[in-house]
């Protein structure tokens, strides 16, 4: 959470200088409600309420700030077309059998499909197009699935967006890709996730190799060893 908030505030340039250590005034290694109330007031005064709100939305995910509506069996954000969103979900749910996957997704997005639409189904509770693609098992279509995921992400599909509550919890696309052993999908998602999220996923999957490779990429071989 600390890493993601610092990353979000850092996107506003040098004027925003968030520091966990400065907020942790009694140096306990955590921030109490009182300490956060005090420090957030300083942040708002320094960079403005709008920037702080945007940073908080980035950390928490847009889900808590968006206006979604349910149209039949799909959740769609304001400004997007429900029918096109259903088509996008259908295309992504059958990705391993579709040789024109990328083009079909591009057409759906051009007709105002919501890249973060969610299926309103108990069996696939709030599964998004990105989750369906991440869940695609290894196949000859793997490279095209990865390209389709990249297209969705560049169209503002949220890589941190969880599915709805399921028996296994609320999982992000990365967890679905790991379970499906979708190697190309994993590589695509990792390029768009911060180090903290990658570590959280790797710890949950006991994938220490991923943690070491991320450390090596960010900080060099010496620290990884």
Q: Are strands 68-71 and 118-119 parallel, antiparallel or unpaired?
A: unpaired
Q: Which residues contact 221 (CB under 8 A, 6 or more apart)?
A: none
Q: Give the per-residue pLDDT at 196.
A: 66
pTM of the model: 0.68
What pLDDT score was predicted for residue 175? 84
The pLDDT score that the predictor gives to residue 69 is 83
The sheet with strand 74-77 has its strands ordered as: 68-71, 74-77, 118-119
pLDDT of the residue at 118 = 93
* Predicted pLDDT at 167: 83
Give residue 114's pLDDT. Answer: 94
pLDDT score for 1: 62
| pLDDT score of 113 | 95
Q: In order along the chain (225 residues), what is the average pLDDT of each group of 10 residues?
A: 67 60 79 85 82 74 66 89 95 90 95 93 92 90 92 90 83 86 86 71 70 77 82
């Amino acid at each position: 959470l600390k890493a993601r908030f610092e990353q979000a505030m850092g996107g506003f340039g040098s004027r925003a200088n968030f520091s966990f250590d400065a907020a942790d005034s009694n140096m306990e290694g955590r921030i109490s409600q009182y300490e956060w109330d005090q420090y957030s007031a300083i942040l708002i005064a320094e960079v403005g309420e709008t920037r702080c709100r945007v940073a908080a939305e980035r950390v928490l995910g847009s889900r808590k700030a968006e206006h979604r509506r349910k149209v039949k069996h799909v959740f769609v954000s304001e400004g997007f077309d429900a029918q096109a969103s259903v088509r996008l979900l259908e295309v992504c749910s059958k990705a391993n059998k579709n040789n024109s996957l990328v083009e079909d997704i591009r057409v759906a997005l051009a007709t105002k499909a919501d890249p973060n639409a969610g299926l309103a189904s108990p069996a696939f509770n709030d599964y998004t197009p990105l989750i369906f693609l991440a869940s695609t098992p290894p196949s000859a279509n793997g490279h095209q699935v990865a390209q389709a995921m990249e297209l969705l992400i560049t169209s503002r599909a949220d890589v941190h967006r969880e599915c709805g509550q399921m028996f296994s919890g609320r999982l992000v696309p990365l967890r679905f890709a790991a379970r499906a052993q979708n190697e190309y999908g994993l590589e695509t998602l990792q390029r768009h996730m911060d180090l903290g999220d990658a570590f959280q996923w790797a710890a949950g999957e006991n994938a220490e190799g991923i943690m070491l490779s991320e450390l090596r990429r960010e900080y060099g071989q010496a620290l990884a060893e």
